[in-house]
Structure formats: C-alpha cells, structure tokens
Amino acid sequence: MAMREIRIVGDPVLRTPCDPITTIDDRVRSLVEDLLETVDADGRAGLAANQIGVGLRAFSWNIDDELGYVLNPQIVELSEDEYQDGDEGCLSVPGLWFPTHRAWYARVVGTDLDGREVVVEGTELMARCLQHEVDHLDGLLYLDRLERSVRKKAMRAIREQL
C-alpha cells in the first residue's frame, strides 16, 4: 500500500473518462489499497482513481470514520426534489471551495474486489461525495457544475495559484 500523489487541475488524466474494470487482478487490488490509504487522511472525503493517475473506474471514500471503495460505480438514483447547496472542494483543486448544487440523496451501484454487487447510498455529505467521485470517473470536475459567474471566479482563482 502507498500514499499516492494527487493529480492537480490541468493534468489531462482528470479530464479523461475512466475505463471500466474488466478483470480483477493484482493491479486492481493494489489500486484499491492505494485509494484507501490515500483517502485515509484528515480532510479527505473521497478519491477517484484518476486523481492518482489511474484511468480505471474506482473510487474510495472516508465519510464519518467509514472507509470504503467501489469498482465500476454508476449512479442509479438521485433525489429529484431535494437538493443541497454548499461549498464543495476537491483534492485536485487544492485550497479552493465554491458553492455547488447537488442532489441531497444519491445511490451508486458497483462491485467489490470479489465481483459482488455493492450498493452505496447516502444523504448530504455522502451523497455529495458519491456524485463528486463519479463525476471524476466521467472526466468532470466539480468546477464544471458551478454556476457561470462562480465558475469564472473559480477559474480566476486557479490561474492565480499557478
């Protein structure tokens, strides 16, 4: 297991949709170990594989002292009438937080390392994490979800950091 370096906005791997995991082998097992170790630090809620430079559909989470992972996650349900608006941040956009509109509830279906179906669901922070990490796997950043005026501020702040 290894704590992996986080890729930062501007790295093309963050904008590339991740490939499905078709075979669970030692490489995938090692990836899951690295995802779990890397997300297990203060202030980290979730981590997608492409954030550590691996273009496979997997992510880990660290919410309310619960560590977990899911392979090939797909969002299968979002609350349609309840939403949350709150500041969202990203390990790949360090130090910046912007108000992001998300569904209040989310459910994701995927698999574990044994190929068994996994259902991960939650409200509030867990729902935000699930949506955020699946976005990563689809090549999106939370910046893409911001209202236009807020996104302009965010992009300016990112340029100022460089």
What's this model's pTM, rounded to 2 decimal places? 0.96
Rounded mean pLDDT of the chain?
A: 96
**101 appears as a binding residue in the annotation:** no
Q: What is the pLDDT of residues 57-80, one digit of tens each?
A: 999 999 998 999 999 999 999 999
- The verdict on whether 33 is a catalytic residue reads no
Instruction: Please state which architecture CATH assigns to domain 12-161.
Output: Alpha-Beta Complex (3.90)
Report whether pLDDT(24) > 70.
yes
Ordered by start, the domain boundaries in the chain are: 12-161
How would residue 117 be classed by pLDDT, with cut points 50, 70 and 90?
very high
Q: Is residue 136 annotated as involved in ligand binding?
A: yes
pLDDT of residue 30: 97
- Maximum distance among all Cα pairs of the chain, rounded to whole angstroms: 45
**Residues ≥6 apart with Cβ < 8 Å to 24:** 71, 113, 114, 115
Point out the catalytic residue in the list 37, 124, 133, 160.
133
For residue 6, pLDDT beyond 70: yes
Q: Is 18 annotated as a binding residue?
A: no
Q: Would residue 57 be called left, alpha or beta, if left means φ above 0 and alpha means ψ between -120 and 50 degrees?
A: beta
